[in-house]
């Protein structure tokens, strides 16, 4: 009988650390010489995270939508393509932060793949500080994070460096109340071993209520391409005044004070700049609730 490819679904809210986890996993898989494919999905129009995947790893990208809703048919097609073209040991699916893991699972459980795929586990990352301050999120988003937790086989409570021990204790209890059966690991930069999630058997859970991005979440994306380098001070002032409903920004940016491009990451109020050796189009993707495109565009053009 043909060997089945294991499927792992990496879920978690925007910025929780899914790409960090994926990089860590791919590094470990490489040392084992296993044949791996990755399916990635970005809410915005351009893909930024795909740089995280080494060139020789088959990669299917689902752009312009969310695995779970707009393009679940595409996910099936991509999986089929990967399975036809490669002899794979495992496939990792990184869902968008706004995806419901069960929807992704549904696509993988299609009868089409019954002989070719075996579901490994659903791994959900939770940003510890984000969870602690979840009251600032809209109710549908809080619900989505709760659902991502309750459907997980393994939960990584990530970014534990940002909370005190007693705060963490409280968060752990809250998460265990939502899902007492799964394995809960406390992590920094998603530092886990493959065995932490590969030896966990997948248990189908019933009666999930759908939280659908387009219907309820109002999660929107805005893609901005700068025509010229911007002033760093003004950019930082723009960030300070940005509405709390912008959850995530990422992309590439150039400043007037330097010739270099920067990879920019912003998650939950924290900006991060990293020098980028190659010159790339200066494009930022914004993800948030009810984004005001016109206002953002105007503000960014004025920088
Ligand atoms: N302080 C801290 N930062 C972390 C940790 N893990 C990840 N990060 C940072 O958090 C940011 C977001 O991490 P990603 O791995 O890109 O998150 P993601 O879930 O893939 O984000 P989306 O693709 O937007 O959904 C990055 O700047 C990471 O370096 C952690 O344990 N502690």
Can you tell me the ipTM of this complex? 0.97
- CA 159 / ligand 1 centre spacing (Å): 8
- CA 16 / ligand 1 centre spacing (Å): 5
Select the CATH number that applies to the domain covering 218-301 from these four: 3.40.630.40, 3.40.50.300, 3.30.1220.10, 3.40.50.2000: 3.30.1220.10
Question: Tell me: the pLDDT tens digits for 152-168?
Answer: 889 999 999 999 999 99
CB atoms within 10 A of CB 220: 17
pLDDT above 50 for 297? yes
Lowest mean pLDDT among 39-43, 59-63, 266-270: 59-63
What is the spatial distance between Cα 136 and Cα 131, in angstroms, rounded to a whole number?
10
- CA 200 / ligand 1 centre spacing (Å): 24
Lowest mean pLDDT among 53-62, 118-127, 249-258: 53-62
pLDDT above 80 for 169? yes
Which residues sit with their C-beta closer than 6 Å to ligand 1? 12, 14-20, 49, 97, 158-159, 161-162, 188-190, 248, 265, 267, 272
pLDDT for position 268: 63
Average pLDDT over residues 69-97: 79
Average pLDDT over residues 203-215: 46
CB atoms within 10 A of CB 73: 10
Average pLDDT over residues 144-155: 89
Q: Quick check: do 5-211 and 218-301 share a fold?
A: no
CATH architecture of 5-211: 3-Layer(aba) Sandwich (3.40)
Average pLDDT over residues 4-24: 91
pLDDT above 90 for 286? no
Give percent of the chain with pLDDT exceeding 90: 36
Average pLDDT over residues 98-124: 77
Q: Where are the domains of the chain?
A: 5-211, 218-301
Question: Tell me: the pLDDT tens digits for 171-198?
Answer: 999 999 999 888 999 999 999 999 999 8
Q: Would you place residue 66 in the very low, low, confident or very high pLDDT band (cuts 50, 70, 90)?
A: very low
- CA 157 / ligand 1 centre spacing (Å): 12
137 CB contacts (<8 Å, ≥6 apart)? 145
Give percent of the chain with pLDDT exceeding 70: 78
Residue nearest atom 14 in ligand 1 by C-alpha distance: 17
């Amino acid at each position: 009988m043909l060997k089945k490819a294991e499927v792992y679904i990496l879920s978690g809210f925007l910025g929780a650390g899914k790409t960090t986890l994926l990089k860590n996993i791919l590094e470990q898989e490489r040392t084992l010489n296993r044949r791996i494919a990755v399916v990635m999905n970005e809410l915005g129009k351009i893909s930024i995270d795909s740089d995280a995947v080494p060139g020789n790893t088959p990669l299917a990208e689902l752009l312009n939508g969310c695995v779970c809703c707009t393009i679940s048919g595409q996910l099936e097609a991509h999986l089929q393509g990967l399975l036809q073209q490669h002899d794979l040991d495992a496939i990792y699916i990184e869902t968008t932060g706004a995806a419901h893991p069960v929807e992704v699972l549904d696509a993988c459980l299609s009868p089409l793949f019954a002989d070719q795929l075996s579901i490994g586990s659903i791994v959900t990352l939770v940003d510890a500080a984000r969870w602690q301050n979840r009251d600032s999120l809209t109710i549908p988003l809080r619900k989505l994070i709760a659902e991502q937790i309750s459907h997980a086989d393994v939960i990584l409570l990530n970014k534990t460096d940002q909370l005190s021990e007693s705060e963490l204790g409280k968060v752990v209890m809250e998460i265990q109340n939502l899902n007492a059966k799964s394995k809960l690991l406390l992590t920094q930069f998603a530092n886990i071993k493959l065995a932490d999630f590969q030896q966990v058997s997948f248990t189908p859970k019933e009666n999930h209520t759908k939280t659908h991005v387009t219907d309820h979440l109002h999660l929107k994306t805005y893609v901005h391409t700068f025509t010229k380098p911007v002033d760093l001070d003004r950019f930082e002032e723009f960030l300070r005044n940005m509405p709390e409903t912008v959850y995530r920004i990422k992309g590439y940016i150039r400043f007037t004070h330097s010739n270099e491009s920067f990879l920019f990451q912003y998650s939950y109020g924290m900006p991060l700049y990293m020098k980028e050796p190659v010159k790339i189009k200066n494009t930022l993707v914004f993800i948030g609730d009810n984004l005001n495109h016109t206002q953002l565009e105007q503000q960014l053009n004025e920088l």
